[in-house]
């Protein structure tokens, strides 16, 4: 066990930085590791002192390669593509590609188990079930998720304009935007979701208290 722990700690870059500070390694390493790693103040461990500044494994990724995979959308809208859509167009796409699993109007039907969750409800926090209207804190998440993972049987098959339109339809059905609103990279991140005010970050750190 002791040995295992030692190896584990030894491989942590924080230790490495102390090594650097002690002048035991090349100055060049400092550039390779920079601030984040230097911010950890941990004791010297021997195992990484033999490590080179860089192992030289792997290769630089090209701009095109990054662009191809970098599909994440940030809450402030970074990552949103050009294009736009509205709820009218979205309703048609929804009926064709989403309704078979999520129901005709996205609402829970008593007594029927849909293959996928209900998406539409009123926006009151206490209402059931959990939907975009009462539980999703960011509208950007909707675009991000639909584009990467939906429709379930053909993920990633919608165009950016179609994703904007489906997003608009779902936000409109949940009475978060007006039916005629046009969504694009500028308007989508400005939407304040009703559930956002409810979200709190877990602050538990262990210890005796049950929270």
Partner 1 sequence: MEKEQKHHKEKSTGNISRRTMIGGAVTAAIIPVISSFTKYIQAGVPIPSPAIDDPTKKIGPGPGKLGKRSTFEQPVKKPSDISSRSPLQDFYSTITPSDLHYERHHAGIPFIDPSQYELLIHGMVERPMKFNLADLKRFPSFTRICFLECSGNFRTGKEELTPQDILGLTSQSEWTGVLLSTLLREVGVSDKASWLIAEGSDAAVMTRSIPIKKALDDAIIAYGQNGEAIRPEQGYPARLLLPGWEGNTSVKWIRRIEITDQPYMTREETAKYTYPVNGKIRMFSFEMDARSIITFPSYPQKVEKGWIEIRGIAWTGRGKIIKVEVSTDAGKTWNAAKLQEPVLDKAHTYFKYLWQWKGDATEILSRAVDETGYTQPRLKQLVDARGTDLGGYHLNPVTAWQIKNDGSVLFKPEAWK
Which residues of the shown chain bind partner 1 in the complex (CB under 8 A)? 1, 4, 7-8, 11-14, 16, 31-40, 51, 54-55, 57-61, 65-66, 69-75, 125, 130, 132, 135-138, 140-141, 144-145, 148-149, 152, 155-156, 195, 198-202, 204-208, 210-211
**Residues whose CB is less than 8 angstroms from the CB of residue 211 and which lie 6 or more positions away in sequence, other chains included:** 204
Closest distance to partner 1 from the beta carbon of 199 (Å)? 5
CB 108 within 8 A of CB 129: yes
Please say which residue, 175 or 179, places its beta carbon nearer to partner 1. Answer: 175
- Cα–Cα distance, 93 to 16 (Å, whole number): 54
Please say which residue, 49 or 179, places its beta carbon nearer to partner 1. Answer: 49
Closest distance to partner 1 from the beta carbon of 104 (Å)? 21
Please say which residue, 68 or 92, places its beta carbon nearer to partner 1. Answer: 68
Please say which residue, 16 or 120, places its beta carbon nearer to partner 1. Answer: 16
Please say which residue, 60 or 110, places its beta carbon nearer to partner 1. Answer: 60
- Cα–Cα distance, 62 to 56 (Å, whole number): 17
Closest distance to partner 1 from the beta carbon of 188 (Å)? 13
Closest distance to partner 1 from the beta carbon of 2 (Å)? 11
Closest distance to partner 1 from the beta carbon of 145 (Å)? 4
- Cα–Cα distance, 93 to 173 (Å, whole number): 14
- Cα–Cα distance, 100 to 85 (Å, whole number): 22
> Is the dihedral angle over the CA atoms 116, 109, 133, 139 positive or is it negative?
positive
Q: How many CB atoms lie within 10 A of CB 123?
A: 16
Q: How many CB atoms lie within 10 A of CB 9?
A: 15
């Amino acid at each position: 066990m002791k040995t295992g722990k030692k190896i584990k700690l030894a491989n942590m870059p924080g230790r490495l930085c102390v090594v650097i500070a002690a002048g035991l390694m090349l100055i060049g390493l400092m550039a390779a590791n920079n601030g984040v790693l230097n911010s950890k103040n941990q004791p010297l461990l021997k195992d990484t002192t033999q490590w080179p500044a860089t192992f030289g494994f792997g290769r630089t990724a090209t701009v095109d390669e990054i662009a191809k995979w970098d599909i994440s959308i940030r809450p402030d809208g970074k990552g949103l593509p050009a294009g736009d859509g509205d709820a009218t167009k979205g309703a048609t796409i929804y009926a064709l590609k989403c309704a078979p699993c999520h129901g005709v109007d996205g609402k829970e039907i008593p007594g029927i188990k849909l293959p996928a969750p209900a998406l539409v409800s009123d926006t009151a926090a206490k209402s059931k079930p959990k939907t975009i209207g009462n539980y999703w804190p960011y509208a950007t998440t909707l675009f991000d998720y639909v584009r990467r993972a939906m429709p379930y049987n053909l993920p990633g098959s919608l165009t950016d304009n179609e994703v904007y339109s489906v997003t608009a339809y779902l936000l409109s059905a949940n009475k978060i935007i007006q039916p005629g609103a046009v969504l694009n990279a500028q308007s989508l991140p400005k939407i304040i979701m009703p559930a956002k005010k409810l979200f709190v970050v877990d602050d538990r750190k262990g210890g005796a208290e049950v929270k």
